[in-house]
Amino acid sequence: MSDKNEQSLEMLRHSTAHVMAQAVRDLYGDVKLAIGPAIEDGFYYDFDAPNRFTEEDFEKIEKRMREIAKKDFPFVREEMTREAAIAFFRERGEIYKVALLEDMEDASVSIYKQGDFVDLCRGPHLPSTGKIGAFKLLSLAGAYWRGDEKNKMLQRIYGTAFPDKKSLRQYLNRLEEAKKRDHRKLGRELDLFSISEEIGPGLICWHPKGARIRNVIESFWRRAHYAHGYELLYTPHIGRSELWQRSGHLDFYREGMYAPMNVDENEYYVKPMNCPFHIQIYNSRNRSYRDLPLRWAELGTVYRYEKGGVLHGLLRVRGFTQDDAHIFCTPEQIEDEILEVLRFSLYMWRSFGFEDVAAYLATRPKKAVGDPKRWEQAQVSLEKAVAAEGLACKIDEGGGAFYGPKIDLKIRDAIGREWQTTTIQFDFNLPERFDMTYTGADGEKHRPYMVHRALLGSLERFFGILVEHYAGAFPVWLAPVQVRVLTITDSHIPYARKVLETLLASQVRAEGDFRNEKLGFKIREAQVQKIPFALVIGDRERDEKTVTPRARGNQNLPAMSVDDFVERVREESKVMNETIL
């Protein structure tokens, strides 16, 4: 979608949010309005209402919205001084609009009117309510005013809008498909993971099948990193407060950290990030330009505080394992290193079945640390790498962190949803804070370039994306159980056991179902569990020493020897020409 189309869609959805607010006000009277922005795939509005909304109210609200649209009220923009606007909304009892205005520094602000409805808004909007197109209210949620749990809980109504009914229908169909693919639902059905209230919200327990997939992912990750010139690190889960003070986390990130523990009269914090530990390893001895570049990676488990209201299965958690890496190099090496890390990222995503990847480049903000020349070189290296790989790229001018520019990679899954994943982030702050140096060819001390790189992001979130992308039907190389051996009668069990032993000895992930149940029942169970292959063992297989595979999707394959079947599994377990078993 072009930027122009995105802006048009955002305007449509923002305008629809205003129409929804007007409908709610018309229907429920004494309702105070908070904020109602357009968001990705839709819009929402937060209300402070005396009544409790339910999804049964949606039909009534939508009917009133259609009536407002039919009246085709023009969206009329008016300018007011900030003081006049405060008086205007205070007179109407709109306490949230007043609070927003009081925090603004603008001398003048804009309001929008449609019929007798008035809202504080920068705009822009459609010409009139009659242009809002096709819409649907979707869900309800609680939302603290300004995201602060000390403030009042408001009621948030989510909706979506599109220019036409066909686009809306296609989107709603995708939503239905997304519900079927919800990793929380599939996680229960396939027995992959769980979250226990007794352990704590946002903390994941990996069950045997989920842990098996994670082990496959980690093994592939490690081999790929060694093959791409990385060394792997292990670092502690806690660190002294002085470390976090020097890194700046206690000044800028304390709200995301858990309370300290006292050990030998020293304060220790569980780590929210791995970077200070990697820097300590770098600083453990003198470094020369001949040592660089250094590519260090770690599957490091970190803990970050997230408010309970935003926790969401595997996608938003409080404890997670980050596939973290840091690159330390000289200015002369930086372009090659950035190109290499981008190519490596693409290799990994394509290995897991994601081909649609886009880049988002965030550049230097007004307030930034570090030499502007280094910023420029860093940005140029990012731009060149993206261009070399032919990636679609959007530039977020001034959107970088204060300590360095970055590239974010976003992938599209099987039903077209976009997920932010890889981050390649320069850091001009920590090398200064920790006085990182290397000795150059001139014999002088120089500051290395430092690049943070989270490739998959976190294993938990990545696994959630993976479950939904494949709808739980993992490719053979990732499937926790690749083969289930099924017997027709008890007389087939001895041979079936020998088949199972051969499969396990060949590193095929296999299990047996030798229960005294009907074969059709066993086959259906294997299908429900989304196992790639079921091997049916009957008289012919036992007598001829063969197996008859049934592929996922009810595809019957011809009978073959166990060795031939193992070779087939190996062939289907190849990822980028490497067999994963």
State how far Cα 42 lies from the chain centre.
18
Any idea which residues carry the catalytic annotation? 275, 304, 322, 324, 326, 406, 452
Name the 3-class secondary structure at 511: strand
Which candidate, 275, 267, 287, places its Cα nearest to that of 247? 275
Q: How far apart are CA 504 and CA 485, in angstroms?
A: 11
SS3 string of 348-413?
HHHHCCCCCEEEEEECCCCCCCCCHHHHHHHHHHHHHHHHHCCCEEEEECCCCECCECEEEEEEEC
What is the chain's Cα-based Rg? 29
Contact 508, 547 (CB under 8 A): no
Which candidate, 484, 487, 473, 488, places its Cα nearest to that of 553? 473
Amino acid letter at 518? Answer: K
DSSP states of 463-510: HHHHHHHHTT---TTT-S--EEEEESSGGGHHHHHHHHHHHHHTT--E
Exposed, middle or buried by CB within 10 Å (0-12, 13-18, 19+), for 543?
A: exposed
Task: Write out the two tokens for 487.
Answer: 């017997």
Which candidate, 126, 134, 128, places its Cα nearest to that of 162? 134
State how far Cα 451 lies from the chain centre.
21
Name the 3-class secondary structure at 292: coil
**Cis peptide upstream of residue 163 (ω within 30 degrees of 0):** no
Contact 300, 278 (CB under 8 A): no
State how far Cα 250 lies from the chain centre.
26
Exposed, middle or buried by CB within 10 Å (0-12, 13-18, 19+), for 41?
A: middle
Contact 242, 263 (CB under 8 A): no
> 44 φ, ψ to 5°?
-150, 165
HSE on the CB side for 109, CA within 13 Å? 22
Task: Write out the two tokens for 57.
Answer: 């109210």
DSSP states of 24-82: HHHHHSS-EE----EETTEEEEEEE-SSPP-GGGHHHHHHHHHHHHHHT-B-EEEEEEH
State how far Cα 309 lies from the chain centre.
17
If you ran DSSP here, which 8-state letter would residue 443 be given?
S
